[in-house]
Amino acid sequence: MTLLVTGGAGFIGSNFLYRTAEREPETRLVCVDKLTYAANPATLAPLIEQGLVRFYRTDVCDRGAVFSVFEETRPDAVVHFAAESHVDRSIADPSVFLKTNVTGTGVLLDACRAFGVVRFHQISTDEVYGDLPLTGGDPFTEASPLRPGSPYAASKAAADLLALSYAHTYGLPVTVSRCSNNYGRFQNPEKLIPRMIARALAGKTLPVYGTGKNVRDWLHVTDHCDAVRLILRRGVPGEIYNVGGGFEIDNLSLVKRLCRLLDAPETLIGFVPDRRGHDLRYAVDAKKLRSLGWEPGTDFETGLKETVLWYLNNRDWWAPLQERADQGSL
């Protein structure tokens, strides 16, 4: 099988390519990535040099270029990770998110129809559901209404609906997965965990929004990758699957855990004005995915320690990205 992965030089996409190359050596892997600020070309270098991944520097919004890649590689399936994903950046400039996340998805769906792709998998987020109260409130199921609270979340909800409309209208075999917050290696330092690690190591203030009481459910990136691989094999076309790590923690408590792991003083923590429209809490019910045979394999305490150790041992990977990330926000 030939599997085309968009956004494969980014955080989750690169982990997915490594995991698939390791577990499914018979699968031919193709990566399409625009190489924006959020991607690091060095991440995939070992896979490309070993001939395990065929790489194309291509914008998913460029219809001609995308169709050329499909013509050349003839993928059997597509996993669509490519997206603008930073909420603060979406608040500052929603237009970029609409173009990449909606228009880019539409281009890929058209290419899949034209070339007879047998599965298109849309990677989405739990943020499309909106938020829950800090206490109480059942986790979101796949049937929960969509109430996106940021331009980023709205663009992903639109992309989900567009993909599902192609399943309904054209019979394109589409599946969608909506994951909770991912963590692990290869994550850009603009995101919470790697940003706190990098700033703590430099003795800089650790900026926490508002009171730090906003709650997130954390999922190890490897567990997410295995969930997607399983959905490709056993998922039902036209269906949505939630992927949750099942570990909820508020942002302030998480930053304090990182301080302890890094032996950094909690006095580095500083509170900053809250994000506009900051969602209170995310939590998803992953029973539907579990019924396919998936279970998260990494507990949060172990995964967080491993992640901290990876960043400590791989400064050469994230240091070039750090200054750029510090120019943004949490």
The Cα–Cα gap between 32 and 12 comes to 14
Of 127, 160, 190, 250, which one is the catalytic site residue? 127
H or E segment at 323? helix 315-326
Q: In the numeric block, which tokens belong to residue 80?
A: 């669509």
The angle that helices 300-313 and 251-262 make with each other, rounded to 10 degrees, is 50
Of 129, 152, 241, 282, which one is the catalytic site residue? 152
The Cα–Cα gap between 329 and 178 comes to 24
Of 33, 59, 84, 126, which one is the catalytic site residue? 126
**Spatial contact of 308 and 197, defined as CB atoms under 8 Å apart:** yes
The Cα–Cα gap between 124 and 243 comes to 10
93 given a catalytic annotation? no
The Cα–Cα gap between 251 and 248 comes to 10
Rama region for 27: left / alpha / beta (φ>0; ψ in -120 to 50; rest): beta
**Dihedrals phi, psi of 265, to nearest 5 degrees:** -70, 140
The rounded Cα 211 to chain-centroid distance in angstroms is 25
User: How many other C-beta atoms can be found within 10 angstroms of the C-beta atom of residue 77?
Assistant: 18
CA quadruple 211, 91, 10, 285: dihedral sign: positive
Start-to-end CA span in the chain (Å): 39
Name residues whose C-beta falls within 8 Å of residue 186's C-beta, 6 or more positions apart in sequence. Answer: 10, 11, 14, 15, 40, 43, 221, 317
The Cα–Cα gap between 19 and 41 comes to 17
126 given a catalytic annotation? yes
Strands 248-250 and 215-220: antiparallel
Tokens 């007879």 locate to: 116
152 given a catalytic annotation? yes
**Dihedrals phi, psi of 220, to nearest 5 degrees:** -65, 135
Q: Which residues are catalytic?
A: 126-127, 152
